[in-house]
Structure 1
Amino acid sequence: MRTTADLTALALGALERLGVDPARTTPLDDPSAGRPGDAAHGLVARSPITGGALCGVRVDDADAVAAAVAAASDAFVAWRETPAPQRGAVVKRLGELLTEHKEDLAALVTIEAGKIHTEALGEVQEMIDICDFAVGLSRQLYGRTMPSERAGHRLQETWQPLGVVGVISAFNFPVAVWSWNTAIALVCGDPVVWKPSELTTLCALGCDALLQRALREHDAPAGLHAVVLGERAVGEALVDDPRVALVSATGSTRMGREVGPRVASRFGRCLLELGGNNAVIVTPSADLDQAVSSVVFGAAGTAGQRCTSTRRLLVHASVADEVVGRVARGFDSLPAGDPFDDGVLLGPLIHDAAFDAMQAALDRARAQGGEVVTGGERIVPGDQPDADADAEAEAETGADAGGVWVRPALVRLPAQDGVMLAETFAPILYVVTYEDFDEALALHNAVPQGLSGGLFSNDVREAERYLGASGADTGIANVNAGTSGAEIGGAFGGEKETGGGRESGSDAWRAYMRRATNTINFSGSVQLAQGVDFG
């Protein structure tokens, strides 16, 4: 298992190769930098792998946010007039730089978010893919031409750049969500000001460094992108600034309840990607090998810390015991350890508070008559010969005594209520049984969230019902595929308490532009619509 010193060296080396300004970070052993957590550092970057502190990170205040928004507003004046294919060339270069530096950026994702390295590499690949998508989009920002009821008139719809886009992202996808927004916003003609999670600041600095290089190489306007680091006050300053035309915020439903009204109060636009409580339905006709494999990944991938993680398993009574037994064996067999190591499938939770929330949810489940079939306990992955020495060396910085690994929990409940209606950001999979498909659909939709869902069935009638108007009420609905692992070609987002926003593919680009309906009169006379005579 790597020590904090190992991870610090790895992170700082990656930052240097990515071109990050060294002034944004401070070494923790620098006496002039102050102690971790004070005003000199602002924030301390940590790794959930050891719980240890990596370096200090210099943060921004409200004035710095205002300055970044002002610079972005100035850049917008020139950028909106830049032809969209030229804007796409910047994003193309970003994709090339991401490809070149894929390993370094993925290393930062693993170090700061704790993702196993194959997932971290996949997240950076997602960034590369959205750049490809956005480059093509830069030549396809299509409007429509509509027939007019008046002779010698033409109606058309045009899409124009919107303005400054504020992006607020969460720790669990520290780079991909930024790229979904930024690649699309840039080709649409919008500058971006990004407030990342305070838990993944080094990832943000790495992304910004690559984009700044691409912008410089194409002589793009100064101020077109900025990353602002800090805690709640920094995000509030971005949300409340009237010059920010669109706030795209990814996080908890609680966060969305605060952000949405604040942006609406100043008549700004809001794109919310909030909580998920995603269900998989397993029917009697399902391919159980396919279903079990998808459920185990959906529930345990990223240690259950995805908004699309599988949290509910709705399984037909006739196959419930077999499915529960196989999923339990899958959970118990997942190799846990250093997320950089080959073969490791289970990384750490982001911090101790996530483990505490998981235990509280399991206690609630037991109080509701639930049976914890397997998992839920904290585990020690692999051999850590240097753990004691590492913890002693880090004690003065207030580091946790090691990372937090937990065995995914499988819980059978007599009914879907109480704790099962809430999202706990941890690897807990709740199971209830059903008798008929109508009941399964009702259970699927009877939660406040509406992000992702999956059906495993070889009955075409069930599949069509699930995807129909009276079927799944989620923004993502899959058949014979799990809840997690969306591709960038489709719009990503959900309904109800998930917020209603859409990012990434399809026509999600329209959120980043303003629509205008145009009338062109080439008749040589004045004609009013609907036959109105004002003559």
Structure 2
Amino acid sequence: MLRSIVDGSPVAAGSRVLDSRNPAHLDDVVAQVVLADPATVTAAARSAHAAQRAWADVPAPVRGQVIANIGALVEANAEALARLVTREIGKPLAESRGEVQEIVDTCRFFLGEGRRLYGQTVPSEMPDKQLFTFREPVGTAMIITAGNFPVAVPSWYLVPALLCGNTVVWKPALYAAASADALYQLFVSAGLPAGVLNLVHADGTETFNGLSQALDEGLVQKVGFTGSTEVGRAIGALCGRHLQSPCLELGGKNPMVVTEDADLDLAVEGALFAGFGTAGQRCTSLGTAIVHESVHGEFLRRFAAATAAAAVGDPTRDVLYGPMLDERFAAAYEKYLGWISGGHRVLGAVGRITADNPRAGFVGDPAAGLFYHPVIVDGVRPGDDLFDHETFGPLVGVTSYGTLDEAIALANAPGYGLSSAIYTTDPKKAFAFRRGIGAGMVSVNNSTSGAEAHLPFGGNGRSGNGSRQSGMWVLDQFTRWQALNWDYSGRLQKAQIEVAVLPADLTFRL
């Protein structure tokens, strides 16, 4: 039985219990989770707030060593953690192993940042005066994460937040509670004092109410959220009332432009992985392939053939993708399938994979889990729900274009701005696309999905508020700049009033 952990101890309170089930084998209960109430969420924030000053006083290089310990522990337990992720959310084992490696990479990067939390010395306009800047931790952070990347994405928040001297309350997705608990245990085993990292298992409403109370009490100074655009708006509004700027990483409707000079086989390979990896349940999953009219038919033929041939099924075996993450995502995906209209051309079967709606070459038993057909829908256009909105599942829209300007306009039209890609052999097209696209991330001849630990990750528009995770850029989310001016002249010097000006003859004659 999994419980919230506050100040290093499991919380006894809570009567509601939720089962975390294996979506590939629904009769397999991975864990039972006791749900916390808003008071527990607030208590966790209170514990973190109380522990923050002492943790910030630990020298940054020493905090960096704790981060190194976390990375070493995760690496030593990598296979067990990856298999737990696959069992709990149905992600293919190869992807789960890559996700765990992402934690290790993140820890290796931020170990060094513990010795590089640099400020600057700044020249003063006054004599006998020095100016300095320092990075200071923001305080206590509330981190709320989704479960499609149940261990990698949390590490993007937790590792830099802790390194910078903040304390954390982490609220993971309930359908990935066992993976979260395992990651929490690895973190605290690396040397974190009690109260520095707190784990809260709660549903969305209870979390929101507990966070609201913690903000009212001044216990939380930063909120990080990965999830839907709708919930992100609500969290952004709540934080705004407290004059805080949250870190919001939200949904995506990520475009892939395929130009007339593209390597079509490479583009198809990228579309297959971007559209159907993790069953299309990534914020960076391919939303719409925007294909030049001269190659539209051939691309579609090759893409449909590759999709039909792809292995789908048991995530412990060699498959492109496994089940939906959870029953609620399956239900939402069926709603998205209802957006298909008579003006669209559907390639392949649609809906849940069953004995009555089979998929050739399915790996395993489709009746055991939440498995769905990969769907390609041609002919989507602006104004269609399928074009305008995120469809979290194995569905890719396809449309055509005539000019690159038209392609860029189509790519920007839904208003999301997370990830994007262009397939081309023409550098001019690649750079024109980069200049015109509103996405925070651009790939050339690569998938819309994929991130590296030292590159900024994040989106704009409906995909986020411009905050960035990963790399040195995330330090600006978890530190505040403090300026210091030190006057050792022995008298009061007034900036902008007593500025030394050297005499100059401003007249000049030829």
> TM-score, normalised to structure 2's length?
0.90
Mapping for residues 489-504 of structure 1, pairs under 5 Å: 489-499=454-464, 500-504=466-470
Preserved contact between residue 222 and residue 246 of structure 2 (Cα < 8 Å): yes
1:46 aligned onto 2:21? yes
| Residues 55 and 203 (structure 1), Cα distance of their counterparts in 2 relative to 1, 3 Å cut | closer
Residue by residue over 1:271-326, the C-alpha shift from the partner in whole angstroms, topping out at 9 and shown as x without a partner, is 10011000000101111122111111000000000000001100000111111111
Deviation at 1:70, TM superposition (A): 1.6
Residue of structure 2 aligned with 1:354, choices 329, 351, 359: 329
Deviation at 1:123, TM superposition (A): 0.5
Residue by residue over 1:476-515, the C-alpha shift from the partner in whole angstroms, topping out at 9 and shown as x without a partner, is 0111111101111111100001112211113211110111
| Residues 510 and 253 (structure 1), Cα distance of their counterparts in 2 relative to 1, 3 Å cut | same
Mapping for residues 247-262 of structure 1, pairs under 5 Å: 247-262=223-238
Residue of structure 2 aligned with 1:413, choices 376, 379, 382: 379
Name the residue aligned to 1:153. Answer: 129
1:337 aligned onto 2:337? no
Name the residue aligned to 1:463. Answer: 430
Residue by residue over 1:130-164, the C-alpha shift from the partner in whole angstroms, topping out at 9 and shown as x without a partner, is 01111011111122233322223222221111111
Residue of structure 1 aligned with 2:208, choices 236, 239, 248: 236
Counterpart of 2:85 in 1: which secondary structure? helix
Name the residue aligned to 2:346. Answer: 372
Deviation at 1:524, TM superposition (A): 3.0
Name the residue aligned to 1:435. Answer: 402
Preserved contact between residue 359 and residue 376 of structure 1 (Cα < 8 Å): no
| Residues 508 and 23 (structure 1), Cα distance of their counterparts in 2 relative to 1, 3 Å cut | closer
Residue by residue over 1:414-447, the C-alpha shift from the partner in whole angstroms, topping out at 9 and shown as x without a partner, is 5232211100111111111000111111111111
1:448 aligned onto 2:415? yes
Name the residue aligned to 2:359. Answer: none
Deviation at 1:189, TM superposition (A): 0.3
Name the residue aligned to 2:368. Answer: 402
Residue of structure 1 aligned with 2:449, choices 484, 494, 497: 484
Question: In 1, distance between residues paired with 2:42 and 2:338?
Answer: 45
Preserved contact between residue 375 and residue 410 of structure 1 (Cα < 8 Å): no
Preserved contact between residue 161 and residue 514 of structure 1 (Cα < 8 Å): yes
Counterpart of 2:221 in 1: which secondary structure? strand
Question: In 2, distance between residues paired with 1:250 and 1:382?
Answer: 31
| Residues 375 and 492 (structure 1), Cα distance of their counterparts in 2 relative to 1, 3 Å cut | farther
Say how many residue pairs are matched: 480
Preserved contact between residue 14 and residue 36 of structure 2 (Cα < 8 Å): no
Residue of structure 2 aligned with 1:521, choices 468, 484, 487: 487
Question: In 2, distance between residues paired with 1:173 and 1:383?
Answer: 24
Counterpart of 2:142 in 1: which secondary structure? strand
Residue by residue over 1:30-80, the C-alpha shift from the partner in whole angstroms, topping out at 9 and shown as x without a partner, is xxxxxxxx9645221111112233342223222222222122112111111
Gap regions ≥5 residues in structure 1: 1-11, 16-20, 26-37, 388-400
Preserved contact between residue 278 and residue 451 of structure 1 (Cα < 8 Å): yes
Question: In 2, distance between residues paired with 1:131 and 1:473?
Answer: 30
Preserved contact between residue 281 and residue 440 of structure 1 (Cα < 8 Å): yes
Preserved contact between residue 337 and residue 351 of structure 2 (Cα < 8 Å): no
1:306 aligned onto 2:273? no
Preserved contact between residue 55 and residue 166 of structure 2 (Cα < 8 Å): yes
Residue by residue over 1:397-418, the C-alpha shift from the partner in whole angstroms, topping out at 9 and shown as x without a partner, is xxxx731111211111152322
| Residues 221 and 352 (structure 1), Cα distance of their counterparts in 2 relative to 1, 3 Å cut | closer
Preserved contact between residue 103 and residue 121 of structure 1 (Cα < 8 Å): yes
Question: In 1, distance between residues paired with 2:97 and 2:248?
Answer: 26
Name the residue aligned to 2:148. Answer: 172
Q: Percent sequence identity over matched residues?
A: 36
Computed over aligned residues only, the root mean square deviation of the Cα atoms, in angstroms, reads 2.2
| Residues 58 and 364 (structure 1), Cα distance of their counterparts in 2 relative to 1, 3 Å cut | closer
Counterpart of 2:80 in 1: which secondary structure? helix
Name the residue aligned to 1:509. Answer: 475
Counterpart of 2:312 in 1: which secondary structure? coil
Preserved contact between residue 312 and residue 319 of structure 2 (Cα < 8 Å): yes
Question: In 1, distance between residues paired with 2:39 and 2:381?
Answer: 51
| Residues 439 and 140 (structure 1), Cα distance of their counterparts in 2 relative to 1, 3 Å cut | same
Deviation at 1:449, TM superposition (A): 0.9
Gap regions ≥5 residues in structure 2: 3-7, 355-361, 500-510
Mapping for residues 17-416 of structure 1, pairs under 5 Å: 40=15, 42-52=17-27, 53-215=29-191, 220-240=192-212, 241-242=214-215, 243-341=219-317, 343-367=318-342, 369-380=343-354, 381-384=362-365, 402-413=368-379, 415-416=381-382
